[in-house]
């Protein structure tokens, strides 16, 4: 076997030039912070006298200088980013300069808007709630037909008929801007004299490939606060984003310094598009030309010990794994018998710093897994061998014995959203009451258009949907890992979520996402 060498770091001490071909700034890089510290203090000769207090003062000065005597329309979702941004605006400006609104887009969690209004009013941040669900459901926007020719446009379908995640995000982001303009007009203000305040963070700009973060990065996903209309407002100098250089952990530290209560600062992030990006919409199954081969390949991987020396696809496994990983596959497949189900749906992921939009693999078994750490390791290895798989999930409820080849037609309709809203409420309530809420950085609950356990003889149509629990542990939100049952989160807590969600009408099964980031993003869309 010929060895392949690649360079991951370069240095020229004579001209003081250093570079690395990886990400030292993310949590999952061993000694990454030490590398940055060595570079900043020993190579660049910087001193560590720039504190969070210094950054707070910098934010306040930026806001005061940018806004002057004008007004700022601040759209507050209730999440930590927009709340901290609103607090900074209140600190930097006069009370009558800040117009705070919470727009209920119809995709909020159960009783979320009422809770947001109450919690922010309790800390002196007065805001008005606008119910705009109907406008969002029926909204559309224009998008580029071809990225290489951005002047050629087409109009999307209305949101409640749209299945593509990027189009959903673009419609929602642009509709926020249109409603903001309506609010400005209702208040008899001149649009050119009103700034838009946003709690945009650095990772948002990086993942959206904004020119504020990079001129050449690939877009992982379009953030609702970085759509084409928002970028147009930025170019006009009408957007105020004091947190654009911050990461989530820094925003929380700033929020604490600003005196915000712990229940606001420590809230799990909730995306601006809300539950809209936690419903995997579909009209037909996603089955690429390599679907059948991939279905066989994943069986070879999870049954590695039984396929040694006799399967033609083994070379694919060997070329993408180390000797240590092959030893793991041998040991794990000997003691753990799993069924594989390649699901005909797509989820967003990150592979090689680029967006991937690929399949989800489900694992199921007769007996409940005893080695969840091993399953986590398997979930890391499989996408590296099968680049058309973004996520690996465990399917509760016994083995899935038949291939899943179709989907339940799913759009952003009130009935679909109410199903997810109920499942999400169950999971979040159980997490809170268990005392483990603070152990996780986030726990999205996703509705997927997959109906398991249908009668294959009578060809029962696909009419139910399934729920995915996506636990996530991270500090930087650029990388992260799932919570491992009985290590980070008691299995009994997860099983209680599964049991109660399973009782929601229309739910087929519950899955548990085992995928780290990368290759799986925090959200599924």
Percentage helix, strand, coil, to 5, in the chain?
40, 20, 40
Q: What is the pLDDT of residue 7?
A: 74
* Tokens linked to 68: 């002057």
User: Was 425 annotated as part of a binding site?
Assistant: no
Whether 83 has a binding-site annotation, put simply, is: yes
Name residue 74's beta-bridge partners. Answer: 100, 197
Cross-strand bridge partners of residue 303: none
What lies within 8 Å, CB to CB, of 406 at 6+ separation is: 285, 344, 462
Please give the pLDDT value at position 410.
98
> pLDDT at position 1, please?
39
Alpha carbon 379 to its chain centroid, in Å, reads: 18
Question: What's the length of the chain?
Answer: 525
What backbone phi and psi angles, to 5 degrees, belong to 161? -120, 5
Q: Is position 81 annotated in a ligand binding site?
A: yes
Q: What angle do CA 32, 35, 40 make, to 5 degrees?
A: 125
Looking at residue 158, its pLDDT comes to 97
How many Å apart are CA 517 and CA 477, to the nearest integer? 9
Binding site annotation covers 80? yes
Tell me whether strands 389-395 and 507-513 are parallel, antiparallel or unpaired: antiparallel
Count helices and strands in the chain by DSSP H and E runs: 17, 15
Query: What is the rounded CA–CA span in Å between residue 270 and residue 83?
Result: 12
pTM score above 0.85: yes
Residue 512 · residue 479 · CB < 8 Å: no
* Of 116, 113, 97, 114, nearest in space to 105 by CA: 113
Judge whether 77 is annotated as a binding position: yes
Check whether 407 is labelled as a binding-site residue: no
Distance separating the N- and C-terminal Cα atoms of the chain: 39
Nearest CA to 430 out of 445, 418, 419 is that of 445
Q: How far apart are CA 421 and CA 415, in angstroms?
A: 10
| Calpha distance 169→356 (Å, rounded) | 17
User: Which residues does 204 contact at the CB level (< 8 Å), separation at least 6?
Assistant: 210, 223, 225, 226
Could you tell me which of 293, 214, 146, 252 has the C-alpha nearest to residue 476? 252
- List, in order of start, the domains of the chain with CATH numbers: 9-43 (no CATH), 52-212+222-276 (3.40.50.620), 290-513 (3.30.300.10)
pLDDT given at position 3: 47
Question: pLDDT tens digits for the chain (525 residues)?
Answer: 344 556 788 999 889 899 998 888 888 888 998 999 999 999 899 988 877 788 999 999 999 999 999 999 998 988 899 999 999 999 999 999 999 999 999 999 999 999 888 888 887 888 899 999 999 999 999 998 887 787 889 999 999 999 999 899 999 989 998 998 899 899 998 888 899 999 888 776 665 545 555 555 555 555 555 667 677 888 889 999 999 999 888 999 999 999 998 888 999 988 889 999 999 999 999 999 999 999 999 999 999 998 877 788 999 999 999 999 999 999 999 999 999 999 999 999 887 778 888 999 999 999 999 999 999 999 999 999 999 999 999 999 999 999 999 999 999 999 999 999 999 999 999 999 999 999 999 999 999 999 999 887 777 889 999 999 999 999 888 889 999 999 999 999 999 999 999 999 999 999 999 999 989 999 999
């Amino acid at each position: 076997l010929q060895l392949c060498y690649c360079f991951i770091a370069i240095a020229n001490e004579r001209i003081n030039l250093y570079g690395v071909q990886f990400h030292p700034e993310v949590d999952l890089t061993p000694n990454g912070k030490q590398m940055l510290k060595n570079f900043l203090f020993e190579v660049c000769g910087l001193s560590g006298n720039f504190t969070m207090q210094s950054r707070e003062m910098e934010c306040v000065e930026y806001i005061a200088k940018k806004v002057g005597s004008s007004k700022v329309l601040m759209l507050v979702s209730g999440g930590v980013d927009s709340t901290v941004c609103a607090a900074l605006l209140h600190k930097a400006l006069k009370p009558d300069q800040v117009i705070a609104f919470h727009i209920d887009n119809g995709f909020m969690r159960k009783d979320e808007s009422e809770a947001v209004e109450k919690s922010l009013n309790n800390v002196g941040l007065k805001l008005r709630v606008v119910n705009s669900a109907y406008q969002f459901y029926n909204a559309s926007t224009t998008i580029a037909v071809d990225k290489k020719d951005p002047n050629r446009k087409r109009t999307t379908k209305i949101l409640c008929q749209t299945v593509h995640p990027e189009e959903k995000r673009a419609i929602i982001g642009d509709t926020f801007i249109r409603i903001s303009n309506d609010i400005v007009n209702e208040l008899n203000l001149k649009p050119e004299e009103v700034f838009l305040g946003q709690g945009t963070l650095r990772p948002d700009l990086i993942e959206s490939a904004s020119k504020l973060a990079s001129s050449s990065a690939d877009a992982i996903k379009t953030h609702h606060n970085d759509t084409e209309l928002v970028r147009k407002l930025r170019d006009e100098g009408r957007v105020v984003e004091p947190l654009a250089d911050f990461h989530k952990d820094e925003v929380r530290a700033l929020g604490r310094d600003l005196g915000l209560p712990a229940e606001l600062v420590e809230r799990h992030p909730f995306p601006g598009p809300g539950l809209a990006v936690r419903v995997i919409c579909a009209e037909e199954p996603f089955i690429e030309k390599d679907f059948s081969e991939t279905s066989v390949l994943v069986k070879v991987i999870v049954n590695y010990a039984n396929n040694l020396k006799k399967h033609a696809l083994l070379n694919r496994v060997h070329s993408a794994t180390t000797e240590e990983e092959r030893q793991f596959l041998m040991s794990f497949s000997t003691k753990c018998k799993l069924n594989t189900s390649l699901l005909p749906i797509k989820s967003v992921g990150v592979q090689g710093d680029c967006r991937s939009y690929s399949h989800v693999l489900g694992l199921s078994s007769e007996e409940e897994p005893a080695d969840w750490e091993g399953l986590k390791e398997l979930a890391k290895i499989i996408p590296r061998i099968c680049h058309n798989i973004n996520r690996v999930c465990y399917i509760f409820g016994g083995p899935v014995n038949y291939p899943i080849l179709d989907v339940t037609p799913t759009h952003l309709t009130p009935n679909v959203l109410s199903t997810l809203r109920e499942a999400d409420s169950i999971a979040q309530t159980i997490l809170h009451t268990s005392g483990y809420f603070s152990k996780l950085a986030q726990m999205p609950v996703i509705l997927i258009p997959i109906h398991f356990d249908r009668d294959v003889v009578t060809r029962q149509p696909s009419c139910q949907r399934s729920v995915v629990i996506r636990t996530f542990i991270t500090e930087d939100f650029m990388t992260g890992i799932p919570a491992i049952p009985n290590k980070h989160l008691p299995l009994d807590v997860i099983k209680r979520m599964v049991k109660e969600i399973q009782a929601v009408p229309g739910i087929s099964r519950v899955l548990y996402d085992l995928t780290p980031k990368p290759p799986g993003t925090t959200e599924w869309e």
